[in-house]
A and B are shown apart, each in its own frame.
Chain A
């Protein structure tokens, strides 16, 4: 029978299936961070269990770490305790950890690929919903809860029921100034935040295969915002080249064996998808969110929608609620919306290509006077690379703050946050109420668009800045 890529990965990881389809899957790679793991380790200790495969587990502190000078440690007592707890747990259970002062430290979904820990055809989990990011390598990667983290630590397996297959095909080319962030925002706008619920999405089509590895990660990353279990892309030459020689990539004869397996990872031509959606590259514009859900999205030429035009009562109420929270009026051109802050970073857009995109726009220009703008590289290695290329200087010269790596204002768990009613152009992935700080107002955009907003002082069209 013909199979999709998802079907194939699933079948290759089956340890056991019950009559009702509930399955036990083997987990190849497990990423761990400080926020969703303490209770899992505690659970292991309470029941006298060990970590089955410490070598398949990699830990890093990212959510709670300060992005300012780290030489004095963490001042927030609770954050400090959480990071120290991770250190203790990793030591006790024999798990490799990139500590806060390790230059390989960074956001969990950035360091996995960077180290070659993320590999095609594998099942990768992490107590974090944006684990979907790793699907860019043709792996089945998804977020799990803390009880499941404990389950994976103890058994190296996970209990799952199979999802349905959903293919999103994007053909054509990206217009100038349009990025993979705009592609995924447009997709979420089209199918809605629950559009993928119950499915694993495979992204396909000529536009998708033309994307770089990092751009693919941005797309898979936000799959969770469309409600899907995971998002993946068939691995190709670009992926194999990216992985070749990374510290945790397969070596020597194992590399050859891996490659032989990896090139076969694709959906069969006549495989059946339960749902399909197609988009054309030429219809994709630079996008920006106006509301408090990632599906509340319009192109930069658009206007804030009017709830009165909505027939559906629930939708109408939710638009009204969003606009009230966001402090926006129906009919306003989104380009006229003034901003206070700019955040460039996160596991969605905190990689080197993202920083290059943004730096190109701000070079030799100044951040608008009323705007505070920050760049938080996704990892220590991204930061190092950017500094080698002089990007830090470009940013600093134009008035950006250049910070240490971490999640930072993507979720505002550390000191980086918005004040009530402050408005931010952000390259992160969630514009929920309070996400970037209580009462804070988030507009999700691509790195180039965030840079354009920093210069203009309002949301703006990145295409204006292309030469």
Chain B
């Protein structure tokens, strides 16, 4: 996984609540067996009209937002299906930070596995940032300091310290867990006597 570095980018604001993973990447693109190449289909149904040509009103089709690394959106972002294709599509498009007042659980976890930072802020701060985004000026996301800087203002954000460490160091979850192999072996040994039917049948 890529190490998460400080981001400087003009954020795009999508003023919709409950953006579900079907909206982020519709099912016709789930037939892929790869992780890459989904960026062009991100938000497909809003981004393209029925003929498949780009919808010029959609924010991610307009400059400078088509190059954004930061997406601000309404609450309960990423609800619905567990598809990791949603963060893959965001990442492939170039978005490495999402800002919302809340997320669906599975989507939130999936972000961290792919080097994407999902920031949670109170509604009032989301308003402030979305207002600011109209200026089309860069903002800075510093994960190390847990700070968003825009103009002369700053917002601090909270994050789980372990998740933060994994993002910054680009740690591979599986490798970390495999280091616990002796503990897993020990657990399985106990399992075969405590709940033998789990392993045997």
Contact = CB atoms under 8 A, between A and B. Distances in A.
Interface of A: 12, 15-16, 18, 20, 22, 24, 26, 28, 35-36, 38-39, 42-43, 47, 49, 52, 55-56, 63-64, 76, 78-79, 81-82, 85, 119, 121-122, 127-129, 143-148, 150-151, 154-157, 159, 161, 193-194, 197-198, 227, 229, 248-251, 254-255, 257-258, 261, 293, 314, 317-318, 321, 411-413, 420, 430, 432-435, 438
B187 A26 contact: yes
A194 B106 contact: no
Interface stretch (B128-136, B137-145, B191-199): B191-199
A63 B84 CA distance: 16
A32 B26 CA distance: 21
B83 A26 contact: no
13 contacts: A16-B183, A24-B180, A145-B106, A150-B174, A154-B177, A193-B76, A194-B75, A227-B104, A250-B201, A257-B197, A314-B75, A317-B15, A433-B45
B2 interface: no
Contacts of A249: 201
B22 A433 contact: yes
B201 A129 contact: no
A154 B174 contact: yes
A145 B78 CA distance: 12
Contact of A38 (B28, B33, B187): B33
A293 B17 CA distance: 11
A159 B33 contact: no
Contact of B184 (A129, A157, A194, A317): A157
A38 B50 CA distance: 30
B168 interface: no
A254 B197 contact: yes
Interface in B99-122: 102, 104-106, 109-110, 113-114
B186 to A, nearest CB: 8
A194 B79 contact: yes
A250 B197 CA distance: 6
B119 to A, nearest CB: 16
Given A39-B34, A314-B74, A434-B22, A151 B196 contact: no
B154 interface: no
Contacts of B75: 194, 314
Contact of A20 (B161, B183, B201): B161
Contacts of A321: 16
A147 B31 contact: no
A78 B23 contact: no
B124 to A, nearest CB: 13
Given A227-B104, A413-B31, A148 B109 contact: yes
Contacts of A121: 195
B61 interface: no
Nearest to A295: B18
Contact of A16 (B106, B180, B196, B198): B180
Interface of B: 15-18, 20, 22-23, 26-28, 30-35, 45, 50, 74-76, 79-84, 87, 102, 104-106, 109-110, 113-114, 160-162, 173-174, 177-178, 180-181, 183-184, 187-188, 191, 194-201
A194 B76 contact: yes
User: Among A155, A198, A258, which residue has the most Cβ atoms of chain B within 10 A?
Assistant: A155
A432 B178 CA distance: 39
A303 B10 CA distance: 43
A198 B105 contact: yes
Given A430-B20, A433-B22, A438-B45, 20 more contacts: A12-B195, A18-B162, A39-B34, A42-B33, A122-B198, A129-B81, A147-B84, A156-B184, A197-B104, A227-B104, A227-B105, A248-B201, A249-B201, A257-B195, A293-B18, A314-B75, A413-B27, A420-B50, A430-B80, A430-B81
A151 B174 contact: yes
A78 B31 contact: yes
B74 A20 contact: no
A15 to B, nearest CB: 5
A413 B30 contact: yes
A194 B102 contact: yes
Contacts of A49: 174
Contacts of A430: 20, 22, 80-81
A20 B196 contact: no
B34 A144 contact: no
Contacts of B104: 194, 197, 227
B37 to A, nearest CB: 12
A321 B178 CA distance: 47
Q: Which 3 residue pairs are nearest across A and B when measured between Cβ atoms?
A: A250-B197, A147-B113, A38-B33
Nearest to B81: A129
B132 to A, nearest CB: 19
Nearest to B22: A432
B82 A257 contact: no
A413 B28 contact: yes
Nearest to B113: A147
B96 to A, nearest CB: 16
Contacts of A150: 174
A145 B31 contact: no
A20 B162 CA distance: 8
Contacts of A229: 105
Contacts of B50: 420, 438
B74 A145 contact: no
A228 to B, nearest CB: 8
B191 A257 contact: no
A435 B181 CA distance: 41
B173 A26 contact: no
Contact of B196 (A28, A198, A257, A433): A257
A291 B175 CA distance: 44
Contacts of A18: 162
Contacts of A42: 33-34
Given A146-B84, A150-B174, A55 B76 contact: no
B82 A147 contact: no
Contact of A22 (B27, B80, B162): B162
Given A20-B161, A314-B17, A438-B45, A128 B82 contact: yes
